[in-house]
Structure 1
Amino acid sequence: MALAANRAAMALAALRVLLGGFFSLTGLAKLSGQISAPAAEQMKALFTQFAEVFPLKVFGYQPDPVSYQVAVGWLELLAGLLLVLGPPILQDISNMLLTLLMIGAVFNLVLLKVSLSTYVPAIMCLGLLLLLDIGQIFVPTKKVVRPSRKRTSSVFKKLRE
């Protein structure tokens, strides 16, 4: 039983690192124009379309496509890094933010009525983020137990005697 829990914990840790790395790289790609000219133009066109179907447009807010791309890029980069390197609470928060971001991406793609093959990356990422979230509920994590000071000082007293 403990072996299965250890394997599941290791699989979740590996998934967390892979997802964090992936989102960090995609965020960096959105922030940097140094990737390739065709990819940068394609991303610019995509965020122009995303801005046109932005969910808050109903309330009169439509973001600038470039600002939208930069905001999503920073969110992906920082949340991806925290997913890999952050303490457990920040890992949970970044997982939630990335999940919401992927829900928004799927929502935008549905509104744009793009082909089903265009949905695959967003749905796969969303599914993996949800798997990571659900897996953390069922796989217990080990807590580090630190001895209290009283206990430590009594050990030293016994050693001196």
Structure 2
Amino acid sequence: MALGLRALRVLLGGFFALTGAAKLSEQISAPASQQMKALFVQFAEVFPLKVFGYQPDPMNYQEAVGWLELLAGLLLVLGPPMLREISNLLLTLLMMGALPALLQFPRSSD
């Protein structure tokens, strides 16, 4: 059981670190980077704090999310237990914050 949880922690942490790095650099995947730039323009338009008059710059928003994912993913893989717990909380809050933005957009029928 402990080995399975450790493997899941490493896989999830690696996934978040890789997606964070992809948001920060076009060298990981240029097509994915271009797609993310377009998505963050849309995400900034439906930012939850917009009702209070705050709308982030899409590129700053993407960079902030990228750094948070990269740092939290690395802490999840390599950090001591207390920092892993903080990383879990940060990633959970980040994903909860992403849900309203993702639910605002209709699905494409590819």
Band of TM-score, shorter chain: over 0.9
Higher relative contact order structure (alpha carbons within 8 Å, sequence separation ≥ 6): 2
Structure 2: unaligned runs, 5 residues or longer: none
SS at match of 1:107: helix
The Cα shift of 1:116 comes to 8.7
Q: Which residues in structure 2 correspond to 1:18-57 (within 5 Å)? A: 18-57=11-50
Task: Map 1:69-80 onto structure 2 (within 5 A).
Answer: 69-80=62-73
What is the root-mean-square deviation of aligned Cα atoms in Å?
A: 1.6
Q: What is the TM-score with the length of structure 1 in the denominator?
A: 0.64
Unaligned runs of 5+ in 1: 1-7, 118-161
Stretch moving more, 49-58 or 33-42: 33-42
Closer, same or farther in 2 for the Cα pair 1:15/1:36, shift >3 Å?
closer
Structure 2 matches for 1:5-154, cutoff 5 A?
8-112=1-105, 114-115=106-107
How far apart are the structure 2 equivalents of 1:48 and 1:83? Answer: 28
Aligned length: 109
Shift in CA distance, 15/100, structure 1 to aligned 2, threshold 3 Å: same
1:38, distance to aligned residue in structure 2 (A): 2.6
Q: How big is the shift at 1:37?
A: 3.5
Q: 1:16-64: per-residue Cα shift (whole Å, max 9, x none)?
A: 0000000000000000022343322211100000000000001110000
